[in-house]
Chain A
Amino acid sequence: MKQVFIQGPISSEFIGGSIAKHQSKTSIGAHNIFLGQVRADDVDGKKVAAIEYTCYEELANTKLHEIREAAFEKFDLICMHIYHSLGTIKTGEICFFVFVSATRRKEVYAATEWLVNQVKEHTPIYGKEIFEDETHQWKVNS
């Protein structure tokens, strides 16, 4: 089972390192990356300061494995990686990283969008939006 969940924000060093690891895979001609960043939403005059992510890890890992298998069936990919943060992620920090590689660009665009949607729709992840005044509300995906 691939490790998807990372405690804390996803650093630019981690993302850069992931790209570098693919330099030896020379059949790749196109990478595409989606990065989800915690946004400082305004809700009734209060500003989101951070999101605290939790998940049902056992079920989430099963679902992510299924999504991964389905992605390789559906698209002509060389490799793909999904990372999602758990714990408190401040606004401006990265919480979601999808990285797709193929021989040509057409596949990676379609696969990235499909993967992002699948993860949002089928993975039991929860986000508690913590406001600057330390009150909170539960994030709802639109």
Chain B
Amino acid sequence: MEITLKYFGQLVDVMGTHEETRPVDCSTTLALLEQLKKNNAISHIPFQLAINQKLIDQDEAVSLHDGDVIALLPPYAGG
């Protein structure tokens, strides 16, 4: 299964890109989060997830599907 990860704010600097498509072997958002947080560079940055432009509850295990677009959104800073 392949998903697209979109990074915003500070995460763009840390990940060195706005967006990447990569194969994953996790079936839920909880498993994905666990995998992402293994990267020390982002483990200290708070963010929420949006799947296909819909914010999800961080504690909820939402199923992932091939082609999903997952956005990692640090705290907003508009205005």
Contacts and interface: CB of A to CB of B under 8 A. Distances in A.
Interface of A: 36, 53-56, 58-59, 62, 84, 95-96, 116, 119-127, 138-141
A128 to B, nearest CB: 8
A96 B77 contact: no
A129 B43 CA distance: 23
Given A58-B53, A126-B8, A138-B10, A96 B79 contact: yes
A127 B75 contact: no
A116 B79 CA distance: 8
Contacts of A140: 75, 77
A55 to B, nearest CB: 7
Interface of B: 6, 8-10, 12-13, 50, 53, 55, 71, 73-79
Contacts of A123: 76, 78
* Residue in A56, A95, A119, A125 whose Cβ sees the most chain B Cβ within 10 Å: A56
A124 B10 contact: no
B9 A141 contact: no
B71 A127 contact: no
A53 B12 CA distance: 13
A10 to B, nearest CB: 12
Contacts of B77: 125-127, 138-141
A58 B74 CA distance: 16
Nearest to A60: B78
A118 B78 CA distance: 10
Given A56-B73, A124-B73, A138-B9, A62 B78 contact: no
Nearest to A84: B78
A96 B78 contact: yes
Given A59-B71, A138-B10, A120 B78 contact: yes
Given A55-B78, A126-B8, 10 more contacts: A54-B12, A56-B73, A116-B79, A124-B50, A125-B77, A126-B77, A138-B10, A138-B13, A138-B77, A140-B77
B9 A126 contact: yes
